[in-house]
A and B are shown apart, each in its own frame.
Chain A
Amino acid sequence: QVQLVQSGAEVKKPGASVKVSCKASGYTFTSYDINWVRQARGQGLEWMGWMNPSSGNTGYAQRFQGRVAMTTNTSISTAFLELSSLTSEDTAVYYCARLPLYSSNHYWGQGTQVTVSS
């Protein structure tokens, strides 16, 4: 069965960077884009960007341009999200997700809590 398993919770200081991983299994990793979505406590879902594991192409939400990087390691079927220059407003649960536009094959990771605190 398809699974996206994310790395554990992180606590970072303001100004630092965080790198979250998302290991895929149960399907051909290079066949689907990986999206990253975050959710602050009590808030809605916010799309951060996508990456195509096959081509390496990426697309980032404008508000994260310049401080976000999405990468993959196809040899271990793992996607990575790196966010830099963290502030308290980046405290949220970060999800990786497979979100095909025209099918029901949507899968989400379990989420990774990132807390930014001095």
Chain B
Amino acid sequence: AQSVTQLGSHVSVSEGALVLLRCNYSSSVPPYLFWYVQYPNQGLQLLLKYTSAATLVKGINGFEAEFKKSETSFHLTKPSAHMSDAAEYFCAVSDLDGYSTLTFGKGTMLLVSP
């Protein structure tokens, strides 16, 4: 079974600093990977997804992620944090053998201080 692990339940950065949210996957085959963001009292919104077309994936709101097979990682980055980036971020892997259901990590809460 495929799974993802997000390191750090909380990450704190200052406004303007680099954002790095970590995600490692476990899969016997190259997976399809997703990053979603969840703002308080809202549903999840897709930031970006890796579908094997390119290892560096650019998403919305200035976020990007790089797929590294050798490290089984798909870390999310943003060069300069903004106060509006404060939210919970989830990494997810798609079920390749079934019906494309998503298996999510436990999430990382990003806190941005002025």
Report if A and B associate in a common complex: no
Chain A interface (Cβ < 8 Å from any Cβ of B): none
Chain B interface (Cβ < 8 Å from any Cβ of A): none
